[in-house]
């Protein structure tokens, strides 16, 4: 009987893991990946949508383009996880596994910041970024506050990028002199592991007249006085508020018993949880690295090598390295790069490369290479040509009737 590997979530971690298992083991192992969404979106693409550089449909990669030997994609909503039994319940049925990998990412706790969705806008979700895109053209004067509502949060440089790109957006419309921009973050610097990157961003803020408020988070928005209330009781008046919502594990993960102190604790080198044969990778875990796709991908590699070796596919397990590369938008078509290492020394380190157009091309290659690796681009083009409701019959995506209605 084939061994069964069950992967929950089709983000960076889930896609990389199942791709590696398919390449090494193919049909010798029964691999299933479950996700309730119909498409994948690179996290950094939300800034492109937010500032009108890309349409929403252009950044979505339909899961109908995902087809790997030995892997089936099930598009259903996960309703329960039993890590002890390695059993998962969905809207379409029950799945049992010999190995279970939880890669469901982080959800947003909008209610944790009163007033955020009523009087401000968040740009970390895809729908949120699309709403900001609609609102920004009408903002022509006043104070824009970009505020982080809790830590940890995905892609730590993203709020800084949003501030720089907002400056560029307003300048291009000829209204920058009528607007002020403030960035509030609970971090002590824009990119703590890399002082060099932080210095470059702080210099960019000064040059563009952006106010940086470190070590503070936004706890609420007041409608009557139009102010953002900070965790030290301070207040910032705003005319436009763009928020990074507090993050939390998906409710189904919280209910599973996997979570301790906010996230799923794992061995940071193997991504193993306290349950035998159960792993957690990416944003849902507390691995000691940031919540970003490149680190989920690195965790997936470590788990894949371990499973491949265990399942007779050859090779040896290798520990998760805790390294990753982040690209940082500075505006003006320039992109910087920071290479960070969280495990090699007594404290995290980061090496910075100055912004350039060459790094923009490198960032684009980062995305296109992964799309080519994880998805069939020909299937994607066919899907887009037929419309979002079409399905590629070769994709091996399984959908239950309930999931189809969702």
Q: Per-residue DSSP letters for 111-124?
A: GGSTTHHHHSEE-S
**What whole-number distance in Å separates Cα of residue 122 and Cα of residue 129?**
7
Whose CA is closest to 391, among 377, 379, 373, 405?
379
Q: The whole model's pTM is what?
A: 0.91
Instruction: Tell me: pLDDT of 243 over 70.
Output: yes
Span 265-283, mean pLDDT? 98
Instruction: Tell me: pLDDT of 372 over 70.
Output: yes
Instruction: Tell me: pLDDT of 403 over 70.
Output: no
Which residues is 338 bridged to in the sheet? 326, 352
**What whole-number distance in Å separates Cα of residue 4 and Cα of residue 100?**
9
**What whole-number distance in Å separates Cα of residue 345 and Cα of residue 45?**
32
- CATH 3.50.50.60 domain position(s) in the chain: 4-106+249-320+376-405, 108-247
pLDDT on residue 404: 25
**What whole-number distance in Å separates Cα of residue 119 and Cα of residue 242?**
10
pLDDT on residue 318: 96
Query: 4-106+249-320+376-405 has which fold?
Result: FAD/NAD(P)-binding domain (3.50.50)
Other CB atoms within 10 Å distance of the CB of residue 272: 17
Other CB atoms within 10 Å distance of the CB of residue 303: 28
pLDDT on residue 398: 46
**Selected residue with higher pLDDT from 398 and 137:** 137
CATH hierarchy code of domain 108-247 = 3.50.50.60
Instruction: Tell me: pLDDT of 62 over 90.
Output: yes
Which DSSP state fits 258?
-
Give first-to-last CA distance, the chain, whole Å: 34
- The pLDDT confidence band at residue 262, using thresholds 50, 70 and 90, is very high
Return mean pLDDT, the chain.
Answer: 93
Rounded to the nearest 5°, which phi and psi values hold at 227?
-130, 150
Q: What is the pLDDT of residues 208-222, one digit of tens each?
A: 999 999 999 999 999
- The pLDDT confidence band at residue 377, using thresholds 50, 70 and 90, is low
pLDDT on residue 355: 98
Burial of 298 (0-12, 13-18, 19+ CB in 10 A): buried
Span 290-298, mean pLDDT? 97
Percent of the chain at pLDDT exceeding 90: 92
The separation between CA 200 and the C-alpha centre of its own chain, rounded to angstroms, equals 24
Percent of the chain at pLDDT exceeding 70: 93
Instruction: Tell me: pLDDT of 391 over 50.
Output: no
Instruction: Tell me: pLDDT of 287 over 60.
Output: yes
User: Residue for token digits 């940890």?
Assistant: 152
């Amino acid at each position: 009987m084939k061994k069964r590997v069950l992967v929950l979530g089709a983000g960076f971690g889930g896609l990389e893991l199942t791709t590696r298992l398919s390449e090494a083991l193919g049909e010798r192992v029964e691999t299933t990946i479950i996700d309730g969404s119909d498409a994948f979106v690179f996290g950094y693409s939300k800034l492109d949508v937010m500032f009108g550089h890309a349409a929403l449909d252009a950044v979505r990669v339909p899961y109908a383009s995902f087809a790997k030997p030995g892997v089936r994609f099930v598009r259903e909503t996960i309703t329960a996880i039993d890590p002890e039994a390695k059993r998962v319940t969905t809207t379409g049925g029950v799945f049992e596994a010999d190995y279970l990998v939880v890669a469901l990412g982080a959800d947003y706790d909008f209610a944790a910041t009163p007033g955020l969705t009523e009087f401000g806008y968040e740009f970390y979700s895809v729908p949120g970024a699309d709403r900001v895109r609609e609102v920004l053209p009408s903002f022509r004067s006043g104070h824009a506050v970009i505020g982080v509502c809790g830590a940890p949060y995905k892609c730590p440089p993203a709020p800084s990028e949003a501030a720089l790109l907002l400056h560029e957006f307003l300048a291009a419309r000829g209204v920058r002199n009528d607007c002020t921009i403030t960035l509030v973050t609970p971090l002590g610097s824009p990119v703590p592991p890399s002082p060099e990157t932080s210095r470059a961003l702080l210099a960019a803020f000064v040059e563009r007249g952006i106010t940086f408020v470190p070590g503070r988070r936004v706890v609420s928005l007041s409608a009557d006085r139009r102010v953002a209330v900070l965790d030290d009781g301070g207040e910032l008046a705003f005319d436009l508020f763009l928020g990074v919502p507090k993050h939390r594990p998906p409710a189904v993960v919280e209910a599973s018993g996997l979570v301790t102190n906010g996230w799923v604790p794992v061995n940071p080198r193997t991504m193993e949880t306290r349950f035998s044969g159960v792993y957690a990778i990416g944003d849902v875990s507390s691995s000691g690295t940031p919540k970003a796709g490149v680190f989920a991908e690195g965790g997936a590699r470590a788990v894949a090598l371990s499973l491949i070796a265990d399942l007779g596919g050859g090779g040896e397990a290798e520990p998760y390295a805790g390294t990753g590369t982040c690209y940082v938008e500075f505006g003006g078509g320039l992109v910087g790069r920071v290479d960070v290492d969280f495990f090699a020394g007594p404290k995290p380190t980061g090496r910075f490369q100055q912004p350039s157009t060459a790094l923009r091309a490198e960032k684009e290659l980062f995305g296109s290479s992964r799309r080519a690796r994880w998805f069939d681009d020909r299937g994607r083009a066919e899907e887009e040509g037929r419309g979002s409701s079409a399905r590629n019959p070769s994709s091996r995506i399984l959908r239950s009737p309930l999931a189809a209605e969702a």
